Amino acid sequence: MELLFLVLFSVHILKTEAVVGYHWCYQSQKEEQPTCKDPRQWHLIDATCKGSYQSPINIVTKNVIYDKSLQPLNFEGYDVKGSSKWNIENNGHTVKITLSTSPKIGGGGLRRKYRAIELHFHWGAPETVYLPGSEHSIDGEKQAMELHIVHIREDAVDIDSAKKIPDGIAVLGFFIKVDEENKNYATLINELDNVQYKGKTSQMDPLPLSSLIPPEDDLRTYYRYDGSLTTPDCHEGVIWTVFEKPIELSISQVSQFARVHFDGKNSTYMTENFRPIQLLNERSVYWSSASTLLPPAKVLMLVLTLTYILSSLFQ
């Protein structure tokens, strides 16, 4: 009996270690690492990845709900450069920057203030035409990249403690489109050479967070929904704010991100490090009423309606 118990216990331990030991990856890594768990298999690492409140999503503008409480966000300390260095790291999945200051956001329908702790990027691949790599999409359209600025409740100690609170995490999502060169990104992009391989870190001069995102006047229109982190453990309970106005970088600047590697020297280039679109399920997506502008689909519907009415009048 004791022998049977030991055998069963050993099997349980091995099974547990196998699950915990899973290496998650993006689909673009499968050729080099065929045994890693791609986004379709993330639920094997954490069951939450198959939850009903997962991110990213496709925002269908004709279905968004207007919410008058979604006034402009208050950005506190976003224009402060700070004196301490930022830590920039290649963590094998993205380029992550840990902030040394604590800028905060409030208002905009948020019930409390949240402080920024880190930012990271998702991007596509530099083929003949640059393949888009944003995680979210609007009416099925993606952009070249996406910036996420992760915030936790100001009364939370760290990301782990924030996960224990239902509204503990708030993420700001910014699309990045290919356009003109953005000199504000020069310092950050120049550091990419120092973090080409997994585990590499570097110290960079801090920047005002406001210099990396569109001007505050352009941040009045945004979408809000309840979602999750977009990497395992896919923690749900994340308040998402996705802005309409994109950040602009040149094709050269965007391509620099795809020159870092998923792993060590001679490993696969880090490309297409985004999670596929997840089902919206029973959730609603809300749109800010801070501007009189209408989402593109609403504008089209209004134009078609007015055209029909005018044509009827003159028949």
Catalytically active residues, by annotation:
93
| C-alpha pair distances (Å), 292 with each of 27, 65, 190, 307 | 40, 14, 39, 21
Residue 194 to residue 260: CA distance in whole angstroms: 9
Residue 191 to residue 211: CA distance in whole angstroms: 17
The DSSP bridge pattern shows strands 65-67 and 286-288 to be parallel
DSSP codes joined into one string, 127-176: SSSEEP--SSEETTB--SEEEEEEEEETT-SSHHHHTTSTT-EEEEEEEE
What DSSP character marks residue 99? Answer: -
Whole-number CA gyration radius for the chain? 22
Residue 191 to residue 184: CA distance in whole angstroms: 13
